Amino acid sequence: EAQVTQNPRYLITVTGKKLTVTCSQNMNHEYMSWYRQDPGLGLRQIYYSMNVEVTDKGDVPEGYKVSRKEKRNFPLILESPSPNQTSLYFCASSMGTSGRMGTQYFGPGTRLLVL
């Protein structure tokens, strides 16, 4: 089954404790992206990757890191989480080359609470 998976689905952590949220897709998609969704602010893009070893900032990259060492995986790293990073996070992937993206496939989401 074609899908985007995220782990963990729920996470409670404390300020400053590094964490990684994994994202994996099995559709051989070039493009992958991370979003956060907050009430009243909607979905905002954090980082995206056009292909392996190619990443770029979205609209809200502060406090986050990403890497794309393999085509199927695109982990989101919070080096020192803070309470304002409490949010619902989504990973997405699509076919696409040279910035020409197609239909976006979303993961189920990771709900993060930073105390």
Partner 1 sequence: KQEVTQIPAALSVPEGENLVLNCSFTDSAIYNLQWFRQDPGKGLTSLLLIQSSQREQTSGRLNASLDKSSGRSTLYIAASQPGDSATYLCAVHGSSNTGKLIFGQGTTLQVKP
Q: In the complex, which residues of this chain contact partner 1 (CB under 8 A)?
A: 31, 33, 35, 40-45, 48-50, 56, 58-59, 90, 92, 96, 98-109
Q: If we measure between CA atoms, which residue out of 7, 20, 95, 90 comes closest to residue 51?
A: 95
Minimum distance from residue 98 beta carbon to partner 1 (Å): 7
Q: How far is the CB of 67 from partner 1 (least distance, A)?
A: 16
Of the two residues 3 and 15, which places its CB atom closer to partner 1 in the complex? 3
Nearer to partner 1, 82 or 98 (CB): 98
Give one word for 39, left, alpha or beta, with left for phi > 0 and alpha for psi -120 to 50.
beta
Q: Closer CB to partner 1, residue 16 or residue 108?
A: 108
Instruction: Determine the 3-state secondary structure of 92 from DSSP.
Output: strand
CA nearest to 49, candidates 34, 28, 64? 34
Min dist. Cβ of residue 56 to partner 1 (A): 6
8 Å CB contact between 7 and 108? no
Query: How many angstroms separate the CA atoms of 70 and 82, rounded?
Result: 28
Q: Which is nearer to partner 1, 83 or 108 (CB)?
A: 108
